[in-house]
Structure 1
């Protein structure tokens, strides 16, 4: 098992090196993708880069911090990866490409936490599990650094469309869409990825785009019919909030419900107290959490699926009693990380009509990772409604 960048490049360079900048650097070759998670915790955490697929196969380029590239040996630089130092970044000096194949591509995506690609038979089965995703897409801006608001300068719809295609969800609950003079980012993504049904609610001015009159949104994308929905404003925080050294009054925050074939899909997007020198776990911030909990218990009715960026590092600790009261059981394993720091603010849970059969969070070049759950529908009538809607597609 490689323990350094040098070892990782030497061991896997001949197969081409995938590099991911999530939770320490992941180095692994196409043929060794299943080892990615073990390698992730063993290699140099300072190396930052990314890999992508294009029409010619796999190509990887990268960026680095703290002169990581200069630490590679001459032998490593000469191998298939051919790393060159470009004074602040490193890249291959020629496009390193492998023939694209579904098997290799699936190994890569599964190794970084995405669901397995469905087979043709699975996709044709109207009784297949219901896949639900919650994803704070930050206006479809990837990140270029791990600092606060370290976003790229402009959205990348191609990248997020690739993530949506790979997730292959029935329903996606989206936080931080953007709606502005050029239209809705979410609706553009829906058109690109085949989501016919969209329910979107504008919620507050954006902190992402510099274009005037642009607002954040909550949205539901669905391959199944959306029969209606609503947006409910969350209680105004009572905690004293400070942002960048100055007292601040937060924008209104909202919850959203969409009715899909009799299932209440809920999502929440509370204020980010942690970024404003407060916490939902103690003090006045805990009173704010109690107010949000009362909103949940007053409005969320079974059968329900709840997904959210709860904007707190341990939602179960903060809202566990409310989850119990509304009968929602969280579906992600407790150690699932949904952001690049050590936390899991993004969660999905469901009432007793749904049984979790698989779940995870896909590591991506975003400040929040897409969290996904496959649910077996236990209620016979609901199961038949979903199957009938799928047959009609």
Structure 2
């Protein structure tokens, strides 16, 4: 079924004004919201490192030069590429992304350049590749450092000539595409090892944007956390709308080797486990709790226990207290604690809680 997007008042004649109906207004608003979300100004973080990155994006947006975005895994390289696209004159054109590391060597050329019918056994019809799909817009080549050498040579040729042939075809296809590349590898080292072409390196290394690891701009962590909380707050099944000072202190001290992606996953995990208005330390992932931070530093107390041990004790104490108040009725205690009976039983077994146990 095809939905009608435009409505015309036929009684007003051939010159009648075309009116937008609610469906089209919703689509336009959605597109506007998506573009606004990826604008440079909406990259979360107020640290000098993020301000410098936004400045580079704005400066590069007016050019069609190839850009290389470098940074560790999880730092948000694709978000930088999208922000660059949306700030450019190509913003109304397509943004097509392809992960070079996710494609097998036998399929990568077909994915990039498309193929003709009958080019290989499973090519039952003509297929446009990523370069054609991105015509008039931006092509984002993620993990370019993992691209096979044979494909690197063909990518270099496209960057130089802006034309190519589909797999199994002979006709030249010209495209108007801006290319943004990204990698978490040291491409200079890859060139020295012979796994990356030196000529392609100089071609993509024209303008480099380095996305810093989260540990180098920890001042942005509170802002990032509140951003993730605000987004999750739109979901009906998330009760927590905030994070406690103690939990935020722990999150801010953690080094986050997985960078912003790991932080986002940690907040989402905490929201799933949290049945309170605020995320507490014991809702955080074990990796955060196992850090060198002491519980006293996060809570202002004087205990010398490691955080993991302190959280275990707190959890044990809460469960015991609730069980005693509920006269050891597990179903009622589980309801009060905001967990299922099965989870409560698992916790009791893990924390070695039995009915005969009493804490003073």
Bin for the TM-score computed over the shorter chain: under 0.3
Give the alignment's TM-score, normalised by structure 1. 0.25
The structure with the larger Rg is 2
Higher strand share: 1
Give the alignment's TM-score, normalised by structure 2. 0.26
